[in-house]
Structure 1
Amino acid sequence: MFPTPEQIKKYIADGLACSHLEVEGDGQHFTALIVSDAFAGKRPIQRHQLVYAALGDRMREEIHALSMKTLTPEEFQK
């Protein structure tokens, strides 16, 4: 059974405080727009690591591919 975009969204939201979160996908490939204060002062790779940590083992077991755009609330407003 493949995860739905709604499930991926819940997984991320459960592990990372987000002010805005969008997830789209077809069950194997997903794209996400993630806005969080936790990204402040972090490089893109560090931001992605925070999302991977929120997803935990699901990244290896359930999710085939995830493309992310990670922004702070200030970056999102621009």
Structure 2
Amino acid sequence: MPTPEDIRGWIAAGLDCERLEVSGDGRHFEALIVSPLFEGKRPVQRHQLVYRALGDRMREEVHALSMKTLTPEEYARGG
């Protein structure tokens, strides 16, 4: 069963993040992801970038992931 640290490492390995916080219980996770790669992208496109970073793990190991995806500017304004 994956840990929040596992999820954090997988996302960080595949996505340039300025801030990355992950919490969860092994089945359900919540993540705050701040990345300059989100600039100019709609929420669904931002989530697709995260899903791409997680790859097959999203289907096989991570059952639920709630994400707050922000640009650095959005984060600086309080999200």
How far apart, in 1, do the equivalents of 2:46 and 2:63 lie? 19
How far apart, in 2, do the equivalents of 1:64 and 1:52 lie? 12
How many residues align structurally? 77
CA apart distance, 1:53: 0.1
Taking structure 2 as the reference length, what is the TM-score of the superposition?
0.97
2:7 is aligned with what amino acid? I
Task: Within 5 Å, give how 1:22-41 maps onto structure 2.
Answer: 22-41=21-40
Partner of 2:58: 59
How far apart, in 2, do the equivalents of 1:71 and 1:63 lie? 21
Unaligned runs of 5+ in 1: none
How far apart, in 2, do the equivalents of 1:77 and 1:21 lie? 14
Partner of 1:48: 47
How far apart, in 1, do the equivalents of 2:29 and 2:16 lie? 20
Identity %: 73
1:4 is aligned with what amino acid? T
Over the aligned positions, Cα root-mean-square deviation in angstroms equals 0.2
Could you list the runs of 4 or more consecutive aligned residues of structure 1 that deviate by over 4 angstroms after TM superposition?
none
Taking structure 1 as the reference length, what is the TM-score of the superposition?
0.98
Unaligned runs of 5+ in 2: none
How far apart, in 2, do the equivalents of 1:63 and 1:49 lie? 15
